[in-house]
Amino acid sequence: MAAFLAAAASPNVALQLRPLVRRPLQSTALGRDSEPQRRRSVSFGAAQGLGVGAAAGFAGAFLGPAFSRRRLLAARRAGADLVDGEEAESSQTLAIVGLGNVGAQFDGTRHNIGFAAVDEVASKLLSSDRWALSGSIWQEAFSGTVLRLKRTASKGTDSYEEILLFKPSSMMNGSGRPVSELVSSLGLPESALVVMYDDMDLDVGRLRLRKSGSAGGQNGVKSILNHGLQKFLRFRLGVSRPKTGGREAIVGHVLGKFRHEEVDLSKEALGRAAVAVEDLADGVSWDNVMNKFNRPATATVA
């Protein structure tokens, strides 16, 4: 199967953001039913040796680490780093959270498609001339890793000036604490929070955005809801459901890789997801974005 996800990179550089209160990072293990499956996962990104190109999504995976480094270094030169202590302006910041499990053994699994979606957003926006990297690549903060992008070209009065991409480092089932910490520390309204994650009730290649709703059995979302966040945009990416078998089959399915015939559908879905996030950042309403992307794809992503 072709490699299609970049490995998550987390340099040991702390992002100093007031009023952040740093706590020791506590790794939350997967549920007991997931433990036996860890040995089955193999890292796509590590095999590709992408390193710093992790933020470059598919372009990094297919064109190699040299391309990824050039893209990110050029983007970084185009935008000034944040000074220590600078806070995100909550009314101008859109936070995009991808859910997944930390560790190379989980790269490329269905359960980590939320991480892959965040990588693809970074890839699309950094390849445009309207966004530039702000600060270092995947800085450690809020019990996770952060990539900050600043707008370099004006769009409109309703658009966001900054996008904050976030991957919790807590493992899937403990996602609520880091996401809650991110939102409360930066004073972000829930209307500026988008959470991207896998959904077994959607076919591979399908997207579904919702303004409300239950966790639907997704433990990362359940953890976020349990931490008091309710009014964020749920961004679901289809990973399908196994046709036979019980709980063990489900665990093996979500912690397994996409089948060869599903890879192109997954790539297309991630590309459409990145376009949807760009629309949200440009001030397109939730309702309009939902109407556009909740339908099955009928055309090639721009």
**Catalytic positions, written as ranges:** 111
Angle at 278 between CA 125 and CA 202, to 5 degrees: 110
Query: What residue has token string 């709980």?
Result: 247
Give the 3-state secondary structure of 217-285.
CCHHHHHHHHCCCCCCEEEEEECCCCCCCCHHHHHHHHCCECCHHHHHHHHHHHHHHHHHHHHHHCCCC
Compute the chain's Rg from CA coordinates.
18
Q: How far apart are CA 78 and CA 168, in angstroms?
A: 27
